[in-house]
Structure 1
Amino acid sequence: MQNPDAPKAKPHRFRLFDPILAGATLRDRLIACLGALVCIALTGAISGYLFGQGPYLPFIVAPMGASAVLLFAVPASPLAQPWSIIGGNTISAMMGVIAAYLVHDPVIAIGVGVGLAIGAMSLTRCLHPPGGAAALTAVLGGPVVASWGFLFPLVPVGLNSCLLVGLGLLFHKLSRRNYPHVVPKPAENTHQTRDIPPALRVGFQEEDLDAALAVFDEAFDIDRQDLSRLLRQVELQAAVRSHGDIRCADIMSRDVIAIGEDTEPDHARHLLLKHNIRTLPVKDRDGRLIGTVGLRELSRSDGAILHVLSEAAVADIDDPALSLLPVLTDGRTHAVIVVDGDRRVLGLISQTDLLSAMARRLPIDDAATKIVA
């Protein structure tokens, strides 16, 4: 029997218009359109101003349009990073010029140029699809390109690429988008032992990812570390969905031991030991959370709590409790502070609180009972 609450499949006639990129939103596409409009126009205007717009110099080359698609539509792609754009276009244009110089048959020259471009970009780690167009432009550019000879890869190709990347960096910063794309560091064992981090001990391993890629035998337009991070987030979201009925409000401690910003370090240590806890929320004079301290922070205190505060991990009262798993298993954070919109402390969820909630959802079989006994 079909579940009436299950999501319905889209009619086949509309699938042609589905987004072709995972995670793409209408807002992202509108930002991409605006970025390309502004930055391509400025790249052409600045290049024309610097070198004139005479008939012997194309002040902006066609491959910049393709570079703009990557730069603004998929800024997280490895193919859209600054070195990929600048190096890929410039080096490919140089390969095209070399091919045109050495091979006089244009039919053969275009193949040689693009082939050399792919090889050169691969060796220099700047693979960029518009580079193939840059190589073709260098081969088939005619007298305009020929008049510049081996300077063509630098002016206008290199100049255009540098301007486009510079303007793209500024645009993404103003639009608060992450560019260049920086892959977060993988989880580390904070205890400085040879064990892998706790969060990576269960689920798929890196060798499993390598084996899966080998089975597909395809190249994917995503950084390997990004792919690993995405799959781990999928695992987390599946767990949250399965246990989404457990909210932070259900498991948090409400009688929270907290201190003020003027509390003496000795008194803070006393509270930690007396109540057998690892984290103390610290409030300002208005009662708002400003950070946390534990014995680690207090061990380097010079007499002022404010000087050794750690940034507090916070959550909303209605957040799924299992969404706190990455934070509470990072090897550094022992508790998450539940706050309201004004950062006033409502409760605290420790590693023990979350573990107890998860344990209650596990089936208890005979083997587990014997172990406990």
Structure 2
Amino acid sequence: MGKTRERPGRGPTEHASASPWHRQPGLFLSRFWPAPVAVDARERWRAFLGAGFGILLTALVSRWWAGPLAPGPWLVAPLGASAVLVFAVPASPLAQPWAVIGGNTLSALVGAACAMAITDAAWAGSAAVALAIALMFWLRCLHPPGGATALFAALGASSFHFAVFPMLVNSVLLVLAGVLYNGLTGRRYPHAQGRPAQAGSARFSEADLDAALAHYNQVLDVSRDDLEALLHHAESAAYQRNFGNLRCADVMTPDPLVVRPGTPLREAWLLMRQKKIKALPVTDKSRRVVGIVTVADYMRHADLDEHEGLGRRLRTLMRRGGSLHAAGKPEVVGQIMTREVRVVSGQRHLSELVPLFSEGGHHHIPVIDAGQHLVGIITQSDLVRALYRAARPAD
């Protein structure tokens, strides 16, 4: 057996337990450097102009509301932080109307209560912030400026009236400005925080996402539906990167076997059995797709739910002039084929077909040319083969 080589002055396992920051101090310091903001100049203009609009509207209306002789403030500083959220990150759960209105107003009430109950300003301020965060968590209105509101109310020994005006009025006006401005500039606000019905992913399900969020166990400044949409987009980009410019025409089975609507059922069945295929495109005289016939179509018309005598019923189905529980037994392919057929262009990127096969229930997709003529067919086997070749490291 070999021996562990030791460096002078260091035990055999010391390197494994040493802090990575000791070995790479730059890695620790890099955490303090902000990441670039991934938005373009247009979005930045939209955000800061919106914040200015929101504060201006709130200020003008609040000042009019208070009147020229109002003894107290009619606009409070924490609202500036609320404006950053409402206009710069309107999709954030922390920026939604209930978070803004409830978080600011309830925090003001908590701050006022702490100012009345605790004489020491330091203790009153700290208690106000802590209790405000707890209350916002409990009532699902977590809003970072709420902490500033609670501290402001506690240090200023504000009364409960402060929570109504200016805090509540300011918050409502800012939210109304956010609804108006974000809507006019193409941003959803309020932003849905539920679970929209989406097509599933080939790589993860809603349960997987829930498990990951539970494991992370931290407040994320992004809604669950946005996070799911981002993951789906990232997955699509990964497919596109792996497939490159691979198109349907590159992997399809060219010139597939076809049948006509008038082809006898027995003839089509024998063709599928001989060629060991499970589907046949049905075309007209100009090779335009009018349907597809599959083993499942035969099973459906042979009463698959009755397992006893299935083989006999299939033989009866394909026998001319026979009877299968009723007169008018289907005789030709056109009577049992599936007429609504998903087709794709040969120039379509193969990555776009992955959801159709993985979640759409498709097993065979005909490929057509610019003139709508059948030129090939893509099966699950073709897709798997292409996936394997794309993922296989170069020799």
Distance in 1 (CA, whole Å) between partners of 2:49 and 2:92 is 19
Distance of 1:347 and 1:36 partners within structure 2: 52
Q: Could you tell me which residue of structure 2 aligns to residue 19 of structure 1?
A: 36
Structure 2 counterpart of 1:323 = 352
Matches within 5 A, 1:43-122: 43-54=58-69, 56-122=71-137
Structure 1 residues not aligned, in runs of 5+ = 1-11, 189-196, 259-271, 282-313, 339-344, 365-373
CA distance 1:132–1:245, change in 2 (3 Å): same
* Mapping for residues 284-303 of structure 1, pairs under 5 Å: none
Distance in 2, Cα, partners of 1:184 & 1:347: 41
- C-alpha spacing 1:359/1:328, structure 2 compared with 1 (3 Å): closer
Structure 1 residue 109, shift from structure 2 partner: 0.8
Alignment of 1:173-212 (within 5 A): 173-183=183-193, 185-187=195-197, 199-200=200-201, 202-206=202-206, 208-209=208-209, 212=212
TM-score, normalised with respect to structure 1: 0.63
| Deviation of 1:320 (Å) | 2.8
1:232 aligns with 2:249: no
Deviation at 1:274, TM superposition (A): 6.9
* Corresponding position of 2:51: 36
Distance 1:165 1:315 in 2: 46
Number of aligned residues = 285
Q: Which amino acid aligns with 1:125?
A: R
What residue number does 2:181 align with? 171
Q: Is the 8 A contact 1:248 1:316 kept in 2?
A: yes
1:53–1:59 CA contact under 8 A, matched in 2:
no
Per-residue deviation, 1:28: 1.5
The one-letter amino acid of 1:227's match is L
The answer to whether the Cα contact below 8 Å between 1:278 and 1:334 also exists between their aligned partners in 2 is no
| Cα separation, 2, equivalents of 1:125 and 1:177 | 23
> For 1:165-210, what per-residue CA distance to the aligned partner results, in whole angstroms no more than 9, with x for missing partners?
111111111111122222574557xxxxxxxx8x45x534555545
- Say which is worse superposed, 353-362 or 62-71, in terms of deviation: 353-362
Shift of 1:245: 1.4
Corresponding position of 1:126: 141
Distance 1:79 1:184, change over 3 A: closer
- Asked if the contact 1:76–1:181 (Cα under 8 Å) also holds between the matched residues in 2, the reply is yes
CA separation in 2, counterparts of 1:62 and 1:30? 22
Change (3 A) 1:325 1:120: same
Whichever residue aligns with residue 172 of structure 2, its letter is C
Provide the aligned C-alpha RMSD in A. Answer: 4.3
Q: Which residue of the partner structure matches residue 137 of structure 1?
A: 152
Deviation at residue 356 of structure 1 after TM alignment = 5.9
Partner of residue 7, structure 1: none
Q: Which runs of 5+ in 2 are unaligned?
A: 1-28, 255-280, 291-332, 390-395
Matches within 5 A, 1:313-352: 320-326=349-355, 331=360
Q: How has the CA–CA distance of structure 1 residues 230 and 103 changed in structure 2, closer, same or farther, with 3 Å as cutoff?
A: same
Taking structure 2 as the reference length, the TM-score comes to 0.59
Letter in 2 for 1:246: L
SS at match of 1:246: coil
Shift of 1:84: 0.5
The one-letter code matched in structure 1 to 2:98 is W
Query: Are residues 334 and 43 of structure 1, via their aligned partners in 2, closer, same or farther at CA, if it must alter by over 3 Å?
Result: farther
Cα distance, 1:73 vs structure 2:
1.1
Whether the aligned pair in 2 keeps the contact of 1:279 and 1:335 (CA below 8 Å) is no
AA at the equivalent of 1:232:
H
1:341 paired residue number: none
Query: Is the CA contact (8 Å cut-off) linking 2:366 and 2:378 kept in structure 1?
Result: no
Q: Please state whether the residue corresponding to 1:361 is helix, strand or coil.
A: helix
CA positional deviation for 1:87: 0.7
Q: Partner letter of residue 177 of structure 1?
A: R
SS in 1 for 2:246: coil
C-alpha deviations, 1:210-233, integer Å up to 9, x for none? 554565554322234433443333
| Distance in 1, Cα, partners of 2:71 & 2:50 | 29
2:383 to 358, 369, 372: 358
* Of 159-168 and 219-228, the range deviating more from structure 2: 219-228
